[in-house]
Structures are given as structure tokens and as C-alpha cells.
Amino acid sequence: MKDHVRARLIKNYIFKGLVMLFAFISLLPLLLILYYITKNGISVINWDFLTQLPRPIGEAGGGVFNAIMGTIMLIVLSCVFSIPFGIAAGIYLAENREGKLSNIVRLCVVVLQGTPSIVIGIIAYAWIVAPLRTFSALSGGIALSIMMLPVIIKTTEETLKLIPYHLKEASLALGVPYYKTILKVVLPSGLNGILTGILLSVARITGETAPLLFTAFGNQFMNWNIFKPIDSLPYRIFYYAMSPYPEWHTFAWGASFILVVLTLAFNLIARGVSIKWKIQF
């Protein structure tokens, strides 16, 4: 009897130990990546690296200012395109839970979420780059905004579905028109969830490279015109890493470090928003 209990206890310990071990092993790649990027990248980071433009081949030094600004511009552009459409679609789905159009939209969202980013890049190329006959920040922003859409739509829908119906009723019973009820009562009550979704989708696209290769393209100069090619951190990393120059290789690590820090920051802010701004019903 006693032995029986002991054997079971030992099995429990072994099981717990194994689960912990595997959990740790699955974390290992992430930790190694962070370690490696920090080790190789942090030595390059200094004021010049952050504020100077890339130098021509053969000249030492320079920085990735244009790539940082380009990535920020791309994020802003893709937010401008994706947020209104994404939130509107999310509202529609939350307000019309059943119905043909809702189901079609939901299916499209799933398909869009599964579409490889390179394919979205080709589409942006065909729709915007080809007709305008130039690579541009605009086309990159649109490609990335298409990638943001499914996340924003889904989180908006799920957030708004959780908002109690009696809040909407309270507003409508005060004679507030339907559209104002949605904009002034329902949306603000779900703001933290929607913001979290936006931040997570921004984190998702910050490091996207494939769709930028034939849309935003890359630009070794600083460019503020959205109808011209623009640089970005992922593109700069790709460009430097593929070069034969050792100094550029270390620059690629430095740019990677900045990119990882940015992505991490978006994820952390998203967590903060979702906890701190939680609305209590």
C-alpha cells in the first residue's frame, strides 16, 4: 500500500520534471536568439549608428537612420489604412453575429490571415507599384496594412462581443442614435482590447521583409515622400547581411537588435494596455 503511494508520487515528480524540462527547451531558441543578437548587435549601437545614413561601399561608418525612419513611416502608413477598415469590419461582425455577409467576412479574415506575406507583396506590386511605375512607401504601407487587417478585425470583434448588451440598451434608451451609441459607448468600452489588437498587429508587421522587397523596396537615402521607395529595418538587415563586407555584417546585427527591441516594445506595451486600461463593467 505504502509502496504504491510512493511509486505514484515518484511518477508525479518525474512527470512534473519532464514538463518543466521541455518547457525550458522550447524557450531556449528564443533566449539564444536574444543573446546572440544582443552580443553581436549591441556593440554597434551608438548615436552615430542611430542618426546617420548608410555610407557608400568602401567608406567606413554610417548608420541606419533612414531604415529606422522608414520602418516608422511604414508602420504609420499601414495603421492609417488598416485601423479604420479593421475596426469598421470588427464592429460589423460584432453587431451582425449571424448572416451571410458576416460569415463571408469571417471566412475572408481566416484566409487573409493564412495568406503568405510574399503573396500579399506581389498583390501590392500588381495593384500599386505597377500602375504607378515606381516602388513606394505607399505600396509597402498598403501591403503591411493588409497583413494587419485580420488581427485588428478579429480582436475588435471579440472585444466588442464581450461588451454587455445592457450598456448599449442604456444608451439607446436615452435617445442616443445607434451610430453614436456604437461610437461613444460601445467602442470606448472596448478601447483597451482594440488597442491591444492594433499593437500586436503592429508588432507582427514591424519585422516583415518579404512584402517589402518589391513594394517599399529600399533606399540608401532618407526619403519622406510616400510615392518614392523607402528603406526599412528588415530590408536594411537583408541588404547588409547579403553583402560581402564584415563591417556591414556587424551593421546587420545592430539593425537586428533595434528591430527586436522595437518588436518587443510593441508586445510589452500591448500587454500593459490590456491590463492597465481594463474597463470594469
Instruction: List interacting residues with other proteins (CB under 8 A).
Output: 164, 166-167, 169-177, 180-181, 184-185, 188-189, 191, 279-281
Q: Which SS3 state, helix, strand or coil, does residue 62 take? A: strand
State the Cα–Cα distance between residues 30 and 16, nearest whole angstrom. 22
Q: How far is the CB of 172 from other proteins (least distance, A)?
A: 7
CB 92 → other proteins: shortest distance, Å? 17
Cβ proximity of 157 and 166 under 8 Å = no
SS3 call for 54: strand
Q: How far is the CB of 171 from other proteins (least distance, A)?
A: 6
Ordered alpha helix ranges (H), 42-60: 47-51
How many whole angstroms separate alpha carbon 157 and alpha carbon 180?
Answer: 18
We find the least distance from the C-beta atom of residue 174 to other proteins, in angstroms, to be 4
- Intra-chain end-to-end CA distance of the chain, in Å: 53
Nearer to other proteins, 168 or 204 (CB): 168
Closer residue to other proteins in complex, CB, 158/247: 158
Ranges of beta strands (E only) in the chain are none
Shortest separation between residue 198's beta carbon and other proteins, angstroms:
18
**Closer to other proteins at the Cβ: 176 or 241?**
176
Which H or E run contains 117?
Answer: helix 117-124
Nearer to other proteins among residue 84 and residue 177 (C-beta): 177
Closer residue to other proteins in complex, CB, 145/171: 171
Q: Look up residue 224 and give its three cell numbers.
A: 519622406
In angstroms, rounded to a whole number, what is the distance separating the alpha carbons of residues 44 and 258? 11
